Structure 1
């Protein structure tokens, strides 16, 4: 409902009184009435500039009062509480005035409300350590106002970024209040764009704040805005991604990699999660550090460097499973050779002594209760899966696997292994991709001699049968039933 002339005049008169008189509970009630009225879209759209100017005058007066809040908290607790309540309500009214109303956003920006709000937030942060509900309520409303005035308004976004990033945003993210942190992340997400994201790598303080946001994905998993910031902005910048990863601890890397893995399954087809060169960087991280996983054979399952390798492998398996934007990973200089080499090492390690890489039939890597599993569970199977992916329709890689003696190695991993569920199926998949349209690899299979588990059971599943002839093996297609 649009505001009538009389109601608008009454609002202006009441706001003028708050801006000049000693604060009372009546003033709080008046502001609550204004806040409620501004929830209505028609009323909000009909509010004139004078009313917003008077509302801003109240905020200006409260900004001055906030300078004395530290002393008031000690000696005049009642007055401090009332001042904080009125400040929160005034910021709440500002917040409501900006909802889907570009005109009000512009008017309030022109008046200086963004700069003034940051000044108030800075003063409130100084007294936030006491954990007062009134302080947190005012902080939340101030942050929400910044979020609402920024939506759809580039000038406001730029002002907020210039005034708040990185110092004030950092202090807000450090608050022991999940709602305030969530609202701050909402503001950051709203203001970020490609140019601002690229700027984050130029300053160590800004990079530090970026790392803080990633860490919040772990410590505050219920705050979705952190995930949106990382996936919709941070991962889009290859330079920022590489610098963040270099500065992270292994625990922080695990958080980031878990997030990437989760998002790979839900990202829309027309929107890539990250640029190809960022994915290539992850592939290089895997090739450079993949042998760290060998520590799992003798150390506890909590070795975080090894767990990073496990998660990198999981990500590379998904990226090379038909994701067109990442299939260029097939041409990565060292990825295939490193994967085949690592498979050899873990396979031989599992045969030389009993450890987490030893084939088993007792589900020994599954912890009691089924709530968690050893990080090495399915690791060998995923190595074979990645090899199969890298060889799909790629003759050079097919040849490379043969040259690295990888074909017999994969065939030797066709047995059922409870520590590597579906390993035989992934082996079937890999061998099929390695043999497809590759006569040299097919001839090599034909020349193999039986050695233990490498019989023709798996080949039959692929539509072939093996015949012995002159001490060698001949590969024949299975005859279809009539």
Structure 2
């Protein structure tokens, strides 16, 4: 007959409190760890179990403290560290989906003692595997006691900001970095995210990004950035100002990934900031016309900014703000003019090219730049009369028409150009008339327009550009 859960736990708790040596406690702690994998045992846990585990943590903390001050004590520390790991595993398991246990542990001071132990383990100068394991288990415990428990999250936040997050996020062990990200993600909310803007805390946000760069497969680091950091515009601005160009590219890749997956809630507040960054640095891309500048990092960041803006302007929620963003459309048109001129003056990546076989691999970073600029212009003019007129005034329509031919340096440029012409002429008679006059004067090939679903007709002595088939959304 199986021993009732309550009696089994009570007996193990008593044995745990009576054992004097680490080896005597270890087997008992392992049995408790196993029991706490099941909800029925977690629900019957008594205060005495956690009190005895707390006493063990305090004893081990004393041993670790001695070893931090005297390296000779390291020879006797391994057994204590093995026991420490098992106690943290036991506590970690007891927290799972059990708020009562979480609260009981917090009220006993187990969070405080655990944070103190983590500090000691960080100071401990040893290559003992048992030390690293104890460190990992301690972080797992903090992550579990914080999960779904706002009081525990508050306590952890007060105790560990900023030292623990900063030190652990920069640790050389990937698991310690990952578990630290788990704790940080669990504890963050809008108010605490704003706290990361403070001068003393900004390095935590930067350390998360650096961790993402070191470990690109890190799920928790990615979630911190997308679910918290990117939703705080002032924090993004503060981070962006201090990031290296490579780190900026990585951050923008994360933004792009979220927007591409239709997560429009991400970055809604930073779209105009990113637009201003693009406007400030857009002409840096022109330096890529020279082979010696092909790895210009500032230009590579600007290319990624353009990719992001193209995706943002494809989202209805962000389109309105970006259409009204001062100077963005003018910047896109003027940069397109400069790139087009550069390609006309000398042969470079901005020169329209058509490879005979179509098999050449295009690896230049600026490939597609003009195509993306036209896409951005097209999106900014979508059902927006003011922007349609602005492109007219900037002589942007002839520029777009001059980029309607196939260009292997700019895949899909002709399709984006047709889309742009569609958006520029929709319910805009002046723009329609301009293109019609260009066609009549021979500046635009009528057969070219017809192939792309457009034709010019006379109506009441006016030349009207009409669509003969629906232009697909691109």
Task: Tell me the residue number matched to 1:329.
Answer: 322
Matches within 5 A, 1:143-292: 143-202=139-198, 204-268=199-263, 272-276=265-269, 278-292=270-284
2:197 counterpart SS class: helix
Out of 103, 117, 137, the position equivalent to 1:141 is: 137
Question: What SS does the aligned partner of 1:65 have?
Answer: helix
Does structure 2 conserve the Cα–Cα contact (< 8 Å) formed by 1:367 and 1:374? Answer: no
Q: Could you say if the C-alpha distance between residues 449 and 266 of structure 1 is closer, same or farther in structure 2, counting changes exceeding 3 Å?
A: closer
Q: Find the aligned partners of 2:356 and 2:133 in 1 and give their Cα distance.
A: 52
Shift of 1:321: 1.0
C-alpha distance in structure 1 between counterparts of 2:4 and 2:190, whole Å = 40
Residue 416 of structure 1 aligns with which residue? 406
Distance 1:454 1:3 in 2: 89
**Does 2:298 match 1:305?**
yes
Q: Distance in 1 between matches of 2:359 and 2:6?
A: 72
Q: C-alpha deviations, 1:59-106, integer Å up to 9, x for none?
A: 2222222212346764553x3111111111111111111111000000
Taking a change above 3 Å as real, the CA distance of residues 231 and 414 of structure 1, as seen in their structure-2 partners, is same
Indicate yes or no: 2:13 matched with 1:16. Answer: no
Q: Secondary structure in 2 aligned to 1:68?
A: helix
Residues 182 and 220 of structure 2 are in contact (CA less than 8 Å); yes or no, is this contact kept in structure 1?
yes
Check 1:30–1:207 CA distance in 2 against 1; reply closer, same or farther (3 A cut).
same
**Aligned mates of 1:213, 1:82 — CA distance in 2:** 34
Q: Is the 8 A contact 1:388 1:431 kept in 2?
A: yes
Report the Cα distance in structure 1 between the residues aligned to 2:412 and 2:118, rounded to whole angstroms: 56
SS in 1 for 2:455: strand
CA distance in 2, matches of 1:219, 1:266: 24
**Preserved CA contact (<8 Å) 2:271 2:318:** no
Alignment counterpart, residue 82 of structure 2, candidates 62, 77, 85: 85
**Distance change >3 Å, CA 356–CA 131, structure 1 → 2:** farther
1:130 positional shift: 4.0
**Residues 413 and 108 of structure 1: is their aligned pair in 2 closer, same or farther, counting only changes over 3 Å?**
same
Aligned mate of 1:44, from 42, 45, 52: 42
1:362 aligns with 2:360: no
Aligned-pair distance for 1:457?
3.7
Q: Tell me the equivalent position of 1:315.
A: 308
Contact 1:95-1:148 within 8 A present in 2 as well: yes
C-alpha distance 234-355 of structure 1, shift in aligned 2 (>3 A):
same
Q: For residue 437 of structure 1, what is the aligned residue in structure 2? A: 427
Q: Which moved more, 1:353-362 or 1:323-332?
A: 323-332
5+ residue gaps, structure 2, are 470-474
Tell me: CA distance 1:72–1:86, structure 2 relative to 1, closer, same or farther (3 Å).
farther
Residue 404 of structure 2 corresponds to residue 406 of structure 1: no
**For the structure 1 residues 446 and 95, does the alpha-carbon distance in structure 2 shift closer, same or farther, using more than 3 Å as the test?**
same
Alignment root-mean-square deviation, CA: 2.5
Kept after mapping to 1: 8 A contact 2:432/2:465:
no
**Corresponding residue of 1:6:** 7
Superposition deviation, residue 464 in structure 1: 2.8
Instruction: Report the TM-score when normalising by structure 2.
Output: 0.92
**Structure 1: distance between partners of 2:184 and 2:457:** 66
Structure 2: how far apart are the matches of 1:88 and 1:326?
Answer: 52
Listed as ranges, the gaps of 5+ residues in structure 1 are none
What TM-score comes out, normalization by structure 1 length?
A: 0.91
Residue in structure 2 matching 1:428, options 408, 414, 418? 418
1:29/1:314 CA distance change after superposition, 3 Å: same
Equivalent residue, structure 1, for 2:120: 123
Distance 1:164 1:389 in 2: 46
Aligned with 1:384 (options 361, 374, 389): 374
| Cα distance in structure 2, aligned partners of 1:467 and 1:155 | 71
Call closer, same or farther: CA 1:88–1:415 in 2, change over 3 Å. same
CA distance in 2, matches of 1:130, 1:450: 83
Give 1:307 shift.
0.7
